[in-house]
């Protein structure tokens, strides 16, 4: 009798988790905040969605590890979807010496952005002095680009400015 009661309690807790994951899976499929192939951050896990199942979601991390997350965790945590919109902004900071001409540096950077075929004009890019560091004036550069070219421009552009 006691064993049956304990078994019932264990099964109750297990089925509660399964039902929570099942219901969350249905809501994920209806709401569609993510889809297979999306680049996401879920529960501090970064990677690509490889499968959305009824009970769990699979993410392949950037270093190739496959992680299964129960759908109840996916549904109840913040989801950052890096590719849901067709354009994306990237920012970086460039330090110039105090003896350099900040206006000339800003003009040079804006000119390079204007010549970049994949940099959008709307939303507009911006370059501005943000901080006075110990040895430099720090300029912030913000550029919008299409998702298909975003990473390539983000990694190439600071070297073009240098």
Let me know if the fold of 2-81 is the same as that of 87-161.
no
**2-81: CATH architecture:** Roll (2.30)
Q: Which DSSP helix (H) or strand (E) runs through 140?
A: strand 137-146
pLDDT digits (tens, 9 = 90+) for 111-128: 999 998 988 888 899 999
Q: Are 88 and 147 in contact (CB under 8 A)?
A: yes
Contacts of 157 (CB under 8 A, 6+ apart): 92, 112, 116, 141, 143
Is the entire prediction scored with pTM above 0.75? Answer: no
CATH number for the domain whose boundaries are 87-161: 3.30.70.100
Break the chain into its structural domains and give their ranges.
2-81, 87-161
What is the per-residue pLDDT for 42?
93
State residue 68's pLDDT score: 95
């Amino acid at each position: 009798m006691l064993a049956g009661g304990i078994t019932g309690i264990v099964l109750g807790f297990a089925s509660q988790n399964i039902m929570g994951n099942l219901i969350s899976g249905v809501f994920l499929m209806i709401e569609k905040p993510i889809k297979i192939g999306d680049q996401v951050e879920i529960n501090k896990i970064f990677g690509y969605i490889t499968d959305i199942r009824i009970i769990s979601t699979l993410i392949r991390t950037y270093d190739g590890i496959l992680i299964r997350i129960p759908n109840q965790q996916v549904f109840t945590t913040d989801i950052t979807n890096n590719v849901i919109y067709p354009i994306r902004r990237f920012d970086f900071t460039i330090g110039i010496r105090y003896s350099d001409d900040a206006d000339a540096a800003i003009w040079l950077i804006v000119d390079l952005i204007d010549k970049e075929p994949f940099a959008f004009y709307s939303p507009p890019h911006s370059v501005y002095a943000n901080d006075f560091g110990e040895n430099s004036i720090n300029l912030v550069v913000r550029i919008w680009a299409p998702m298909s070219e975003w990473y390539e421009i983000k990694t190439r552009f600071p070297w073009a400015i240098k």
